[in-house]
Structure 1
Amino acid sequence: MRSTTRDIGDRDDLDVILRRFYTAAFADPLIGPFFTEIAGTDLEVHLPRITDFWERALFRTADYGRDAFAPHAALHSARPLTAAHFGRWTQLWHATVDGLHQGPTAERAKAQGERIAVAMLRRLAGPDAATDGGGGGFVPLAAFELRSVA
């Protein structure tokens, strides 16, 4: 296991983070079915694409030219994605990053994940989608202290 005192430094670090995150996400009773039942996600196919996404977002070193919104819109059409789903995704992402890394890039990864979750929710559910814990199910990260993920 990698030390939590080291920041996210490269694609290899992202690969470890994403494998751990998706292991937890696939097993999660709330969001797991979106990956396993609805999308039928093959992690070995998905991982290089999502690693490109995060490498571009954090380091600007990968070429990611895909539409990240389209697959989420398709999932939402099959079964609505709610604030609770995006809140849980954010909790797992935050816990995964925290469980492996500390530093400015790790903090940026967590903040970017939260921004993406809120933006996706608002595009899918409308600009008035509750993201402040006000009944919509989205739980702000500040309310949690998550140290590990399954």
Structure 2
Amino acid sequence: MPHPDIAARADLEPLLRRFYAAAFADPSIGPFFTEVARLDLEAHLPHITDFWESALLRSGDYRRNAFAPHLGLHRRRPLTAAHFGRWVQLWRAAVDGLYAGPVAERAKAQGERIARAMLGRLTDGGTGGGEGGFVPLAAVLLRG
């Protein structure tokens, strides 16, 4: 049976839980969540859900600055193209594992756009130094 598409806020929680379970366990990016940010998923999940609901379902409920926490992390432990590439791989796998359709495709594309924008702001915006944009290898790894 084919997967359904993302249609409502209720579809986002299982997706986000699936993604964060994989991300927390990942040896490359997991420490950013568990050691650096010490993310309390239960407390943070409503805000993350607001973000994705606004991005994918156009709810307009997200009123926070999504960049600020990533900048704080980057200042404590630099985030690299490889980290963002891994985030995108895990995000795409989480989406593909549960959903299929136009909104699911938009979720994957939006995740990649967000990763590129965050990395660009962290490395090009004078906040963290370093090379700008994804290196070619990291760009290839986005879709691996």
Taking structure 1 as the reference length, the TM-score comes to 0.87
State how far apart, in whole Å, the 2-side matches of 1:4 and 1:12 are. Answer: 19
> Which of 66, 81, 104 is the aligned partner of 1:106?
104
Quote how far apart the aligned CAs of 1:141 are. 3.6
User: In the alignment, does 2:140 pair up with 1:139?
Assistant: yes
1:71-102 deviation per Cα after TM superposition (whole angstroms, max 9, x unaligned): 00000000000000000000000000001111
User: What is the letter of the counterpart of residue 126 of structure 1?
Assistant: D
Q: How many residues in Structure 1 have an aligned counterpart in Structure 2?
A: 139
Cα pair 1:4 1:99 within 8 Å, conserved: no
Q: What residue number does 1:148 align with?
A: none
Could you list the runs of 5+ residues in structure 1 that have no partner in the other structure?
A: 145-150
The amino acid across from 1:30 in the alignment is: S
Task: Identify the structure with the greater helix proportion.
Answer: 2
Cα distance per residue 1:25-48 (max 9 Å; x no partner): 000000000000000000101110
Per-residue deviation, 1:4: 4.3
Question: Could you tell me whether the CA contact under 8 Å between 1:86 and 1:138 is conserved in 2?
Answer: no
Partner of 1:29: 27
Task: Provide Cα deviations, 1:10-69, integer angstroms capped at 9, x if missing partner.
Answer: 111100000000000000000000000000000101110000000000111251110000
| Pair 1:10 & 2:11 matched | no
Q: Which residue of 1 aligns with 2:66?
A: 68
Contact 1:83 1:129 in 2 (8 A): no
Unaligned runs of 5+ in 2: 126-130
> Equivalents in 1 of 2:17, 2:3: separation in Å?
20
Alpha-carbon offset, residue 126 of structure 1:
1.2
